[in-house]
Amino acid sequence: MVTVIGLTGGMGSGKSTAARILGELGAEVIDADRVGHRIYAPDTPAWREIVAAFGPEILAADRTVDRRKLGARVFAEPEALQTLNRITHGKIYAYIQGQLDYIRAKQAARVVVVEAAVLLEAGWRSLVDQLWVIAADEAVALARLKAYKGMTEEQARARLAAQLSNEARIAQADRVIWNNADLEALRRAIEEAWHSLERA
């Protein structure tokens, strides 16, 4: 039997690091952001819709979507973010569903992790059996976004304000893993959660 874990969390929470640790422990990880990269590829249906909606100025020289330019636009304009979500969320959902169907049919992994920042916002809860939330206090997330993403205080606060709160995610979670400390503390918490799966 395949167990599918939805792994989500806000920017600066350490969600991607948690997914990497789960992969090291033996989970098959499906990264929704990487799926997004695939469906954004030049001349795909999503690419055409994005260019039509936002203009060619959001493209890089190689005709790929410049996610930094697009991100700056959509996080500054709520309506633009809604437009992008309408274009992409259904296509990403269908792609992930196809991957999960394949894994289940082949019994290719015992645990699959769907890592998705917008798992709840996009309505993808039905894809997963359990929802794990990686959470960090706002001050910690802000510091990480400034240190690792090169954002200003204003940019980091705008990004955090545009997403679900910790409270909203936690209200729907089967497991909450707080990540306010260092990497080793996160690894210990992830390993404890992993071993609880093994005992189930």
117-129 tens-digit pLDDT: 999 999 999 999 9
The whole-number pLDDT of residue 200 equals: 63
Instruction: Give residues with Cβ within 8 angstroms of 60, minimum separation 6.
Output: 66
Indicate whether 107 pLDDT > 90.
no
pLDDT in tens, 25-55: 999 999 999 999 899 899 999 999 999 999 9
- The fraction of the chain above a pLDDT of 90, given in percent, is 84
CA distance 88 to 59: 16
The whole-number pLDDT of residue 75 equals: 81
The whole-number pLDDT of residue 72 equals: 85
Average pLDDT for the chain = 94
pLDDT in tens, 84-101: 999 999 999 999 999 999
Indicate whether 159 pLDDT > 90.
no
The whole-number pLDDT of residue 89 equals: 95
Between 39-53, 66-80, 122-136, 161-175, the lowest mean confidence (pLDDT) is in: 66-80
H or E element at residue 67: helix 67-76
Q: Radius of gyration over alpha carbons of the chain, in Å?
A: 17
Q: How far is CA 28 from CA 2, 18, 60, 100, 103, in A?
A: 10, 13, 31, 10, 9
Read off the pTM.
0.91
The whole-number pLDDT of residue 77 equals: 86
More confident residue, 181 or 78: 181
Residue 161: closest CA among 141, 181, 132 = 141
Catalogue all structural domains in the chain, each as residue range(s) with its CATH number: 3-199 (3.40.50.300)
